[in-house]
Homo-oligomer: A and B are copies of this chain.
Amino acid sequence: MIRNVKIISTGNYLPERVVTATELDEKMGLAPGWCEKKSGCVERRFASEHETSPFMGARAVERALEKAGLKFSDCDALISTSGTPAQPIPCTAALIQEAMGELNSAIPSFDINATCLSFVAGLETMSYLVEAGKYNRVILVSSERASVGLNFNEKESASLMGDGAVAVIIEKTPEGEGSNIISSRFETYSEGAHWAEIRGAGSNIHPIRGNGKEDDFYFSMQGPKIFKMASKLMLPFCDRALKESGLTFKDMNLVIPHQASRMAMGLIQKKLQLSDDQFYTFVENHGNQVSASIPTGVHNAITEGKIKRGDKVMLLGTGAGFSIGALVFTY
């Protein structure tokens, strides 16, 4: 079912500190070149002390508002589509609203979380509320400070992740314009619930009362299992997702994949037979930014002119859960 919803503005925030693959090679005692070769990430940003997830999210929202010439009060909801919480309580959206200094806005603020696919799930979900007229204009914001939870004894994931925030503002498409969300599909296979996780610090393993070991509080990833599942599911899942859209990959001006490692993306691009022009990778200078990866792709593609109004775009990714999701829209 097509929703007449339009992306009207985006904004991002990248932490100031650049961390190179070379720096990580040294930090983890690896042979020069290991991190770049393994992850495909040459440099990424790591947040400093003051660059909390709500801080970064707030700056991204402000930039998206400024670009659109809007005030926060022109918007009807603020949805954090971040995959990791800033605090266990309250929700991250309330903390982002606070970090914007909008203390008495009354604007509904809550979180939609599907880990790496949070933005896709949030855009899908909230587009129905915009289409129905519940909210005229909604801000989605993914903000991730992955660096704080990296396990530098697990070089595969530690070489891969980067921090940052992106905000995307959507509204009902004005009469006579063609922007829309054509279709979306989401599937969760909890067989893979522990293939990418932080076991500790929620209610399962309390930081003080739980019997957690240090590693429980860091991110851990079983890359080969995720990749095997993703490889198995990718083609049939894309068939199902495309069938709902009535389109084929040939119709897509751009596919924006979740920025897993360059190797994983390369194999998926090959499997889907997409040209380099159609398949957008930017892991080189961002790393994998958890939920912020896919909206970073949207922001950069718009900013760099890779997509223009009327173009068909597919967002596509896998995430912890294990989930796989796709959303097709006309920009």
Chain A interface residues (CB < 8 Å from chain B): 1, 52-54, 78, 83-91, 93-95, 97-98, 102-115, 117-118, 121, 125-126, 128-129, 131-134, 144-145, 148-149, 186-191, 193, 196-210, 212, 214, 217-219, 319-323
Contact = CB atoms under 8 A, between A and B. Distances in A.
A190 to B, nearest CB: 4
B95 A190 contact: yes
A199 B134 contact: no
| Copies of this protein in the complex | 2
Contacts of A106: 187-189
27 contacts: A1-B134, A53-B202, A53-B203, A83-B89, A85-B202, A87-B201, A89-B219, A89-B320, A90-B321, A91-B321, A94-B188, A94-B193, A97-B190, A97-B193, A98-B191, A98-B193, A105-B190, A107-B188, A108-B121, A108-B187, A109-B188, A109-B190, A110-B321, A110-B323, A148-B203, A148-B209, A206-B217
Query: In the complex, which of the residues A113, A117, A129, A322 has the most CB atoms of chain B within 10 Å of its own CB atom?
Result: A113
Given A94-B193, A204-B53, A88 B132 contact: no
B89 A204 contact: no
A53 to B, nearest CB: 5
A241 to B, nearest CB: 12
A197 B85 contact: no
A99 B205 CA distance: 16
